[in-house]
């Protein structure tokens, strides 16, 4: 059972991993934790076909823990996060949830589902999730009855109204854009938002459908942007794509696909003396560009890690290359792709030329994430062995610096390479960037050789 309790969330295959007994126990022991912070928890779910069933089981567990469930129905994940920072009228008084649980499989295949959890406005992750898993497994004998009572709340309406007010200056704006929701949950929020703001768009796959009949809902994979690119070729100026639960974004013009780290740099340019947190996979262009106008902080990959550091430092913004963007500036500090789209539209309306700004940046050559298969048992040991080998040969290999915040980011005179162990799957993740294709290939080959040597060392 323990494999479903992951670093940043709980995730597994419906019925095989996430069955009635397990989900009710997750709700019960999670409810006991939430109850220490307050009486109320908000539950919402994404577009997957089994999300309503998981909701019934989860709510039964929360009720058994004497938590009062506020239910917001089918919404994107950022709506659940939003509920944790806002009050709802219950029994004649305004109450704020002490915790929130979004039932979502994010961008995973249709048979997957899971839970993203917030308690006391902070992500519930890491050792807290692992400890929950151990407690659920140790108490598998407990039987929890069906009890699906919950108080319905207008979570989506409150979220849409908030964004409509915050971005009222966009009313009637026509950026000639297309939006691909990939049949995920984002469309249920974006549709009324466009209507209230009188913004027109070519709409692709807004209808929630957990079988994802048109393409996989992961906008970080180029193949999933094919339909959006066709609309751009036919005349749209800009395109937005969302993952299955609406917390990751892709933004494209006819000429460029602007990754999360480059977007973070552009957002920083609209702020005074910005402080921005990036993950170890972010381009050096982002770090250098932000340090020229403010302060950039490099941190571990993972939406929970970035949210926590954002709160601790009071930074303005955090970003992952994959399209998780976290605004603390004028917002609540969680990853919200729909809010991010509105900030981009605001910049377009104010005259920001994304193509021109992109073409001013230093030309660097980079790879996307490249996955190296291994095992969960060996992946962290391989990283430790790799660190030792690199430090032994630092001067011989011409290494300027080795950053060990999350795996190893190896910095050379003309580029860098990253090798890190995935927290959620049995792989090593690599990424490379350099000033020329030749330097890129040289760094990539060198580090791949070192990975193989580290693997041999581990056995």
Count the neighbouring beta carbons within 10 Å of the beta carbon of residue 362: 10
Question: ∠200-205-207 over CA atoms, to 5°?
Answer: 100
Rounded to whole angstroms, the Cα distance separating 212 from 209 reads 6
In a domain, 82, yes or no: yes
d(CA 7, CA 249): 22
Buried b (16+ CB within 10 A) or exposed e, 166-195: ebeebeebebebbbbbbbbbbbbbbbbbbe
Q: Answer yes or no: pTM beyond 0.85.
A: yes
* 86/150 same-domain check: yes
| 189 and 226 housed in the same domain | yes
Same domain, yes or no: 380 and 417: yes
Give the Cβ contact number of residue 132 at 10 Å: 20
Q: Are residues 247 and 272 in the same domain?
A: no
Q: Domain of 408: which CATH number? A: 3.30.310.50
> Measured in whole angstroms, how far is the alpha carbon of residue 412 from the centre of its chain?
29
Q: At what angle do helices 187-197 and 337-349 cross, to 10 degrees?
A: 30
Q: State whether 433 and 448 are in the same domain.
A: yes
Our count of domains for the chain comes to 4
Domain-terminating residue out of 362, 386, 417: 362
CATH number of the domain encompassing residue 12: 3.40.120.10
Residue 161 maps to a domain: no
Shared domain for 274 and 180, answered yes or no, is: no
**112 and 21: one domain?**
yes
List active site positions.
11, 106, 324
Cβ-based neighbour number of residue 334 at 10 Å: 29
**Domain membership flag for residue 165:** no
Residues 436 and 303 in one domain: no
Q: Out of 362, 390, 409, pick the residue that ends a domain.
A: 362
208 touches 184 (CB < 8 A): yes
Q: What is the pLDDT along the chain (459 residues), one digit of tens a residue?
A: 788 999 889 999 999 999 999 999 999 999 999 999 999 999 999 999 999 999 999 999 999 999 999 999 999 999 999 999 999 999 999 999 999 999 999 888 899 999 999 999 999 999 999 999 999 999 999 999 999 999 999 999 999 999 999 999 999 999 999 999 999 999 999 999 999 999 999 999 999 999 999 999 999 999 999 999 999 999 999 999 999 999 999 999 999 999 999 999 999 999 999 999 999 999 999 999 999 999 999 999 999 999 999 999 999 999 999 999 999 999 999 999 999 999 999 999 999 999 999 999 999 999 988 999 999 899 999 999 999 999 999 999 999 999 999 999 999 999 999 999 988 789 999 999 999 999 999 999 999 999 999 999 998
Range of the domain at 313: 259-362
- Tell me if 372 sits within 8 A of 430, measured CB to CB: yes
Query: Considering the domain boundaries, does residue 333 fall inside one?
Result: yes
Angle subtended at Cα 358 by Cα 352 and Cα 360, rounded to the nearest 5 degrees: 100
Do 289 and 312 fall within a single domain? yes
- Answer with the one of 125, 155, 185 that is the final residue of a domain: 155
Instruction: Tell me the C-alpha to C-alpha distance, in Å, between residue 452 and each of 93, 235, 293, 428, 455.
Output: 61, 47, 40, 12, 5
Same domain, residue pair 96 and 45: yes
Alpha-carbon gap, residue 206 to 191, rounded angstroms:
8
Task: Select from 334, 359, 302, 350 the least CA-distant residue to 125.
Answer: 302
């Amino acid at each position: 059972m323990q494999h479903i309790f992951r670093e940043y969330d709980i995730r597994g295959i419906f019925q095989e991993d996430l069955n009635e007994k397990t989900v009710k126990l997750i709700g019960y022991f999670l409810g006991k934790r939430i109850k220490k912070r307050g009486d109320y928890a908000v539950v919402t779910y994404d577009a997957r076909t089994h999300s309503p069933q998981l909701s019934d089981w989860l709510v039964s567990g929360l009720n058994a823990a004497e938590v009062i469930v506020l239910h917001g129905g089918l919404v994107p994940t950022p709506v659940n996060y939003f509920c944790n920072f806002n009050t709802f009228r219950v029994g004649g008084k305004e109450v704020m949830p002490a915790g929130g649980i979004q039932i979502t499989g994010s961008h995973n295949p249709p048979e997957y589902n899971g839970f993203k959890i917030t308690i006391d406005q902070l992500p519930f992750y890491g050792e807290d999730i692992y400890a929950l898993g151990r407690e659920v497994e140790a108490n598998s004998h407990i039987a929890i009855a069906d009890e699906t009572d919950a108080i319905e709340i207008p979570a989506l309406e409150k979220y849409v109204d908030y964004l409509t007010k915050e971005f009222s200056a966009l009313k009637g704006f026509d950026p000639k854009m297309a939006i691909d929701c990939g049949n995920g949950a984002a469309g249920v929020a974006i549709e009324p938002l466009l209507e209230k703001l009188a913004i027109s768009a070519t709409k692709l796959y807004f209808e929630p459908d957990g079988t994802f009949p048109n393409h996989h809902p992961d906008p970080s994979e180029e193949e999933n942007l094919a339909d959006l690119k066709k609309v751009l070729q036919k005349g749209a100026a800009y395109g937005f794509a969302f993952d299955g639960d609406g917390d990751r974004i892709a933004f494209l013009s006819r000429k460029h696909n602007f990754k999360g780290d480059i977007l973070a740099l552009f957002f920083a340019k609209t702020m005074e003396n910005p402080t921005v947190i990036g993950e170890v996979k972010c381009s050096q262009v982002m770090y250098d560009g932000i340090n020229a106008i403010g302060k950039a902080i490099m941190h571990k990959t993972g939406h929970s890690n970035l949210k926590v550091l954002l709160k601790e430092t009071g930074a303005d913004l955090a970003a992952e290359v994959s399209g998780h963007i976290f605004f603390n500036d004028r917002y609540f500090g969680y990853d919200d792709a729909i809010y991010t789209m509105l900030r981009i539209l605001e910049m377009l309306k104010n005259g920001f030329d994304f193509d021109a700004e992109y073409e001013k940046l230093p030309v660097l050559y980079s790879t996307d994430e490249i996955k190296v298969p291994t095992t969960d048992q060996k992946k962290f040991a391989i990283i430790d062995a790799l660190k030792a080998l690199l430090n032994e040969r630092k001067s011989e290999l011409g290494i300027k610096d080795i950053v060990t915040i999350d795996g190893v980011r190896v910095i050379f005179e003309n580029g860098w390479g990253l090798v890190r162990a995935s927290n959620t799957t049995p792989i090593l993740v690599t990424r490379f960037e350099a000033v020329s294709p030749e330097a890129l290939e040289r760094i990539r080959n060198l580090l791949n050789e070192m990975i193989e040597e580290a693997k041999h060392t581990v056995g």
